[in-house]
Structure 1
Amino acid sequence: MTQYFLTVPHDSAEEPTMASMQEFDPADLAAVIAAVDEFNTALKDSGAFVFAGGLYPPSTAKTVDPSAGAPRVLDEPFVEASQYVGGFWVIEATDEAAAVEWATKASLALQGRIEVRALQEAPDA
């Protein structure tokens, strides 16, 4: 089966974090958390779940850049963008249509956009 990367985009201007999520209406936040938990359970029960995680915002990023010879550690993301990946799932699916079906369920749970991309297969040796 192919692995797919389902990403959760966020707007860079907002940089939502677990702390800032506490500013949401408690009932709305509880509903989203419950919906995501239900989605994660369905992924796991189906055998499609590989792993998932949330990412800190780009303002916390370090970029290691060896282009000037010796690697330099920069206190910045590797690219400035109006949006960034705030979280993700890696799933296994039989095909792109099945991955999009899972992404649709994730989108409904989060009430937001989800991007679907297949992970590249290892080249034959």
Structure 2
Amino acid sequence: MAQYLLNLIQPDGDAPPPPEFLAPIMRDIAAVNEEMRAAGVWVFAAGLHPASSATVVTPTGDDVLVTDGPFVEAKEHIGGFTLIEAPDLDSALSWAGKVARASTLPIEVRPVADGGE
């Protein structure tokens, strides 16, 4: 089976939503993760700290340049991801739809190069 990365696209900003808004979303995401585990497609998932916590390491000749902050300034960033194994893109898109509904956010689906094939 091929692997697909489901990137959760989150608006930029450091403040998390209030608990009364976030709690049902996290419950729904946990339910979809459990459904993916039961179906045997779930490989790994993680949430990420805000993009402002990123550090970028850039090659410069024989050295590297280390800078604070995200690689690009953007209004959105990857807030988390799930790696799945699915028989095809249509199946991956179906799972992404479930994650999108649970998270209330857009999900970018990307095949993993040589992932599981």
Give me the TM-score of the superposition, normalised by structure 1.
0.83
**Match for residue 111 of structure 2?**
118
Is the 2:10–2:105 contact (alpha carbons within 8 Å) kept by the matching residues of 1? no
CA RMSD of aligned residues (A): 1.6
Moved more, 45-54 or 77-86: 77-86
Distance 2:93 2:79 in 1: 19
**Match for residue 80 of structure 2?**
87
In structure 2, the gaps of 5 or more residues are none
Q: What is the Cα deviation at residue 95 of structure 1? A: 0.2
Amino acid at match of 1:44: R
Q: What is the Cα deviation at residue 69 of structure 1? A: 3.7
- What SS is found at the alignment partner of 1:80? coil
**Match for residue 37 of structure 1?**
30
After the TM superposition, list the runs of 4 or more consecutive aligned residues in structure 1 that deviate by more than 3 angstroms: none
Residues 106/52 of structure 1: CA separation in 2 closer, same or farther (3 Å cut):
same
Number of paired residues?
A: 115
Q: What is the Cα deviation at residue 68 of structure 1? A: 5.0
Amino acid at match of 1:7: N
Report % sequence identity: 36
**Structure (1/2) with the larger strand percentage:** 2
Give the 5 Å matches for 1:65-104.
65-104=58-97
Distance 1:74 1:29 in 2: 32
Deviations 1:55-86 (A, max 9, x none): 11111111111225421211122222221100
In structure 1, the gaps of 5 or more residues are none
Distance 1:76 1:35 in 2: 31
- What SS is found at the alignment partner of 1:3? strand
Give the 5 Å matches for 1:1-16.
1-12=1-12, 14-16=13-15
**Match for residue 63 of structure 1?**
56
Amino acid at match of 2:64: P
Structure with the greater alpha carbon radius of gyration = 1
